[in-house]
Chains A and B, each alone.
Chain A
Amino acid sequence: MSTSTTTAGSTVRAPRPGFKERVDSLPRALKIGLWVLFAIFLFLLPMLNIPVITTEGSDFGGVLFTVSTYVLVALGLNIVVGYAGLLDLGYVGFYAIGAYTVGVLSSEHAHLSWIVVVPIAIGAAMLSGVILGAPTLRVRGDYLAIVTLGFGEIVRLCLVNSQWLGGAQGISDIPKPPSLVVFKVPSLDWSGGVPVIDLDTTSTFLKFGISDFVPYYWLALIVIGLVLLFDILVKNSRVGRAWEATREDEDAAELMGVPTFRFKLLAFALGAAIGGLSGALFATKSGFINPQGFELLLSILFLAAVVVGGAGNRWGVIVGAIVVGYFPERFRDFADFRVLVFGLALMLLAIFRPQGLLPPKRTVRAKRADARQAVLEEGEGNA
């Protein structure tokens, strides 16, 4: 893929093949094999009890689940912000709608089963995305941010003030998903310095109990896999191209035949649906939800996950979600300073690495081409 270009007078060495290139050039079967191994590693992660990574204070399975909800949210928000270029500061609203739909329909006012309730929650979130998006996506970019922020807050205020939705006390006794016992997975015990398989401490695939959060994490992983697949399939199609074109230059895109409003609304609705799905999973794992869990700060954290990771790059936002979801849990001792550190991180990131940790392909290509250009220009002077 990368070649050396030699011209009379100056030799331009192509940048050394990066990690991505080397991975891409492996034979397909090997790549699939690596992915499978990686997936297995992820599933086993909570059982491996790897010393430094595992959180001491809180249950690692629970932490992994939290990180997974962040990953889901980041993937959904990435469609809105990264692909379609729409600034959404109220994403927590969809997350809350997903969670509360589950709460209301399976605990507060009805007792429908989990399998029925979750799709309804996704649908409710998606519908609210359409209802919010239809009038507001015509609004100018900056204003969209504030409108969505207002939406997020309106949702929260309605939740707090409405007794029908549980009010400030929230909704509890949300039932677990139905269990399907397949097999037990042992854990690793590192207390002796060397990992030893501990057959007593196990998690069951898939038994949803009260104390063991690992099966929830496994469920979340499966959902993430499906959403990732969906993301890849949709992005590499006319839909993905339409989003990119709209983000690049909306007027030009429309003049080239792209119904930009429809695609923006689609991005909004899909993002909302995924946010609602994540909220629904959160509600079932938690068993209990209240409005305090759906504050503006959460919207900002979600947005930060996307921006820190690299808006527009699905792997980047996953990394961002892991950073934003994991570090506060890992460093709980410094809980008081979490938000301060977070704010500083955002400021520094904005100044020094605005494209995020894993910038999307287009930014990398652009930077590399710019760098090549710069070398050329300097090279020509020396020729």
Chain B
Amino acid sequence: MPDAVQPDQAHQPDQPRQPLSVDEVTDINPDVVIAPEDIGGPAVAEGEKLLEVDEVTLRFGGVVALNEVSFHINKGEILGLIGPNGAGKTTCFNVMTGVYQPTSGAVRYLGQPLGKRKKFAITKLGIARTFQNIRLFANMTALENVLVGVDAHHTTGVVSAMFRLPKHRKEESQGYERAMELLTFMGLDGKADELARNLPYGDQRRLEIARALATSPQLLCLDEPAAGFNPAEKAKLMELIRTIRDQGYTVLLIEHDMKLVMGVTDRIVVLEFGRKIAEGSPAEIRDNPAVIAAYLGVDEEDAS
């Protein structure tokens, strides 16, 4: 594990550090086990196709956001989805999670097309995500945010709640346990009762991941999880992603930081202007002329 460099000191060397308990950025606890809970559904062996994007085209009026994009992700992989701004990466996520319906083509999860399923149904199938600009429930506590995720597979309704039936009580206590596990894993257990909007940026990003993991997905989609991080934080994030994978999740990652992508992914898919222009291992992608051409003109800092 990388050295415990205090990110705040790295940022503001001239300010005397005055940490308060809420604002201190914490480390994750990789020893906490947060393997996905069994939510039913067919079992997939390691290495088999988990999700397949099959010739997906998405048109908005005259604009073609995605153009016959095809790729797949295997169970246990960490797949990177990269491309210049506007390439369609987040749009791809949106199609995969049911926010948009593809104009043509299909997204298949465990062999079954997603069809016209609603967003929450797709989450219950096993696909979860985070957002480019953090979308936590700002005025709810960290614990409550994660509990909402855990509730995805619960069925307590008004009647169970009203009469405090056993189902409610079981789901509440199990939910609480699981949520605290996830928070502890992320090092946020001390801040469980803090409002999400008051957490420092790094914690918010972690909380969002914890919330997504709470829905017990098989596939975790991270949309630019390292945005705004400094190198030390990015290193910690890579560690986090690897640990998540080791615990049994499959990860799909959109990122701009090449070092991070090259360092943590098993395979990479490259999009440009809505089209897939390359696919392969990090080494193959790094030397791919089409990819390099697509990125020409991007900041030095982002290109590897």
Contacts and interface: CB of A to CB of B under 8 A. Distances in A.
Same complex for A and B? Answer yes
B137 A249 contact: yes
A239 B211 CA distance: 17
Interface stretch (B142-150, B244-252, B265-273): B142-150
A256 B195 contact: no
Interface of A, secondary structure class, is helix
Interface in B88-119: 97, 99, 118-119
Interface stretch (A117-125, A257-265, A298-306): A257-265
Nearest to B137: A248
B55 interface: no
Contacts of A7: 18-20
B148 A258 contact: yes
A369 interface: yes
Contact of A238 (B20, B119, B171, B197): B171
Nearest to B152: A257
A244 interface: yes
Contacts of B153: 257
Nearest to B144: A241
A20 to B, nearest CB: 16
Nearest to A269: B158
A198 interface: no
Given A9-B18, A233-B161, A366-B195, A245 B148 contact: yes
B21 A237 contact: no
A244 B135 contact: no
B144 to A, nearest CB: 6
Given A233-B164, A242-B151, A245-B148, A252 B131 contact: yes
Interface string B129-165: 1010001111110001001110111101110111110
Contacts of B162: 230, 233-234
Given A233-B161, A234-B158, A244 B120 contact: no
B18 A383 contact: yes
A171 to B, nearest CB: 32
A257 B147 CA distance: 11
A344 B296 CA distance: 61
A43 to B, nearest CB: 25
A251 interface: yes
B172 interface: yes
A5 B18 CA distance: 11
B198 A244 contact: no
Contacts of A258: 120, 148, 151-152
Interface residues of A, number: 41
Given A230-B162, A248-B139, A239 B148 contact: no
Contacts of A378: none
Interface residues of B, number: 49
A259 B153 CA distance: 11
Interface string B13-39: 001101111000000000000000000
A380 interface: yes
Contacts of B129: 255
Contacts of B197: 366
B123 interface: yes
Interface string B166-182: 00100110010000000
Contacts of A9: 16, 18
Contacts of A5: 20-21
A242 to B, nearest CB: 7
A140 interface: no
B157 to A, nearest CB: 7
Given A248-B138, A376-B20, A259 B120 contact: yes
Nearest to A362: B139
Contacts of B160: 237
A252 B20 CA distance: 30
Interface in A334-382: 362-363, 365-366, 369, 373, 376, 380
A173 interface: no
Nearest to B161: A237
B37 to A, nearest CB: 13
A10 interface: yes
A376 B18 CA distance: 10
B18 to A, nearest CB: 5
Contacts of B151: 238, 241-242, 257-258
A266 interface: yes
Kindly list the 10 A-B residue pairs having the minimum CB-CB distance in the complex, ordered from nearest: A257-B152, A237-B161, A248-B137, A257-B123, A362-B139, A252-B135, A254-B119, A238-B156, A245-B148, A369-B198
Interface of B: 15-16, 18-21, 97, 99, 118-120, 123-124, 128-129, 131, 135-140, 144, 147-149, 151-154, 156-158, 160-164, 168, 171-172, 175, 195, 197-198, 211-212, 214-215
20 contacts: A7-B18, A9-B16, A233-B164, A237-B168, A238-B157, A238-B171, A239-B161, A242-B148, A244-B144, A245-B140, A249-B135, A254-B120, A255-B119, A256-B123, A266-B158, A362-B139, A362-B195, A365-B139, A366-B197, A383-B16
Given A253-B148, A257-B120, A366-B139, 12 more contacts: A233-B161, A244-B140, A245-B148, A251-B135, A254-B123, A255-B128, A256-B215, A257-B123, A266-B158, A366-B195, A369-B198, A376-B20
